[in-house]
Amino acid sequence: MSLLELRAIKKTYLLGNSIFGKRKTVEAVKSVTLTLESGVCLGIVGESGSGKSTLGKIILGLEKPDQGEVLFQGKNLHSFKAKELKELRRNLQVVFQDCYSAVNPRLTIGEIIAEPLRNYERLTSSEEQKQVQGLLELVGLNPEDMYRYPSQFSGGQLQRINIARAIALKPKLIILDEAVSALDALVQVQILNLLAQLKEEFQLSYLFISHDLQAVNYIADRLAVMCKGEVVEWLDDMGQLERLEHPVSKKLLSSVLPQYPGFL
Ligand SMILES: Nc1ncnc2c1ncn2[C@@H]1O[C@H](COP(=O)(O)OP(=O)(O)OP(=O)(O)O)[C@@H](O)[C@H]1O
């Protein structure tokens, strides 16, 4: 059984009225079917507006698809009862691009990382402190950082804190939505290395959403290329990047393989 399965997902947004009074719509996701196996990092790449984030929001339950099904461990997400939904949230975490707005500036780092632990586990304060400090070390930060505030950290450090919070409950799947896109190149590589190491250590699965094929290529095991709401190409093996054929794939490829005779 796949960890995650999307079956013919469709999502259309209603926009404002056109000048003729008809409601305009945008088909953000047209008919997406894909599967993600346990322990795998699936990269979803595509240009801006191709529907990547909408897909992520649908999996997270932040948006409801107009048609289609999302199955998590074989079960339709939209049929989940309250208790199952709580369990799903434990197993399904997310790290967004904007590391600053993802944290409450008035809370200490310790409180931020402890939040999922407080929601799901009954720990004594010394157990909680030990876990938070362990998580900080795991993401390459200092245990003493738990007493500091978000404004005292760089973007890369804050993204490490967001990752620590995301792995606190040892989820099965983490959606990484442009999670390294706002960071400097060197910091991006450091965070990608950290994500790869955590994936191995905790057998995590990732859905790595990005417009940057270079970053996707660094971490993903498999690849889905999206264009105008559809998956237009699929790779089971990242070693076969040169085989990509769709014009959008070729355009994205030129950033990874500069010698590629594509759309430089
Ligand atoms: N809440 C919304 N209301 C109306 N249109 C939306 C909404 N969210 C997304 N869209 C539209 O749906 C399409 C897909 O957007 P989406 O954000 O999923 O793409 P994306 O590939 O993630 O791009 P980006 O990386 O720029 O966010 C776009 O045309 C976008 O304008």
Collect all residues with Cβ–Cβ distance below 8 Å to 185 and sequence separation of at least 6.
none
Instruction: Say how far apart CA 31 and CA 41 lie, in whole Å.
Output: 22
Report the pLDDT averaged over residues 173-188: 94
Q: Output the pLDDT for position 258.
A: 57
pLDDT of residue 106: 97
Q: What percent of the chain has a predicted confidence (pLDDT) above 90?
A: 81
More confident residue, 15 or 43: 43
* Residue at 261 is within a domain: no
In a domain, 260, yes or no: no
**Ligand 1 contact, 46 CB (< 6 A):** yes
Q: In the predicted model, is pLDDT for residue 146 greater than 70? A: yes
pLDDT band at 19 (very low <50, low <70, confident <90, very high): low
Give distance in angstroms: CA of 238 to centre of ligand 1.
Answer: 26
Give the range of the structural domain holding residue 38, as residue numbers without chain letter: 4-253
Find the 48 Cα to ligand 1 centroid distance in Å: 8
Determine the atom of ligand 1 nearest the C-alpha atom of 14. 4
> What span, in angstroms and rounded, lies between the C-alpha atoms of 175 and 162?
12
Decide if 176 is inside a domain: yes
Q: How far is 61 from 89, CA to CA, in rounded Å? A: 10
pLDDT at 84 over 90: no
Residue with the nearest Cα to atom 5 of ligand 1?
A: 13
192 phi and psi angles, rounded to 5 deg = -65, -40
Residue of 47, 50, 226, 228 to test ligand 1 pocket, by largest number of atoms within 8 Å of CB: 50
Cα four-point dihedral sign 50, 56, 57, 59? positive
Average pLDDT over residues 213-218: 93
Best residue for ligand 1 mutational test, from 9, 13, 98, 180 (most atoms within 8 Å of Cβ)? 13
Is the beta carbon of 211 within 6 A of some atom in ligand 1? yes
Residues 28, 238: Cα–Cα separation, whole Å: 26
Residue 175 placed within a domain: yes
Q: Let me know if residue 263 belongs to a domain.
A: no
Name the pTM for this structure.
0.93
Respond yes or no on whether ipTM tops 0.85: yes
pLDDT per residue over 25-61, tens digit each? Answer: 899 999 999 999 999 999 999 999 999 999 999 999 8
Convert 18-52 into a string of H (helix), E (strand) and C (coil).
CCCCCEEEEEEEEEEEEEECCCCEEEEEECCCCCH
**231 has pLDDT over 80:** yes
Percent of the chain at pLDDT exceeding 70: 95
Q: Give how many domains the chain has, as a whole number.
A: 1
Determine the distance separating the centroid of ligand 1 and the alpha carbon of 6, expressed in angstroms: 18
What pLDDT, on the 0 to 100 scale, is given for residue 256? 73
Residue 120 covered by a domain? yes
Residue 262 covered by a domain: no
**Per-residue confidence (pLDDT) for residue 148, from 0 to 100:** 98
Q: What is the pLDDT of residue 255?
A: 73
- Closest ligand 1 atom number to CA of residue 211: 25
Task: Please give the DSSP secondary-structure letter assigned to residue 234.
Answer: E
CB within 8 A of 59, min separation 6: which ones? 4, 6, 70, 77, 92, 175, 207
Which residue's C-alpha comes closest to atom 26 of ligand 1?
Answer: 48
The CA 13 to ligand 1 mean position distance, Å, reads 9
203 band by pLDDT with thresholds 50, 70 and 90: very high
- Structure confidence at residue 2 as a pLDDT band (50, 70, 90): very high
Does the C-beta of 48 come closer than 6 Å to ligand 1?
yes
Verify whether ligand 1 is closer than 6 Å to residue 97 (CB atom).
Answer: no
Residues 32 and 230: beta-carbon distance below 8 Å: yes
Residues 141 and 156: their CA atoms lie apart, in Å, by 11
How far does residue 51's CA lie from ligand 1's centre (Å)? 6
* Domain contains 60: yes
Mean pLDDT (the chain, rounded): 92
* Lowest-confidence region among 17-31, 85-99, 131-145, 247-261: 247-261
Instruction: Give the domain CATH number at 172.
Output: 3.40.50.300
210 in contact with ligand 1, CB cutoff 6 A: no
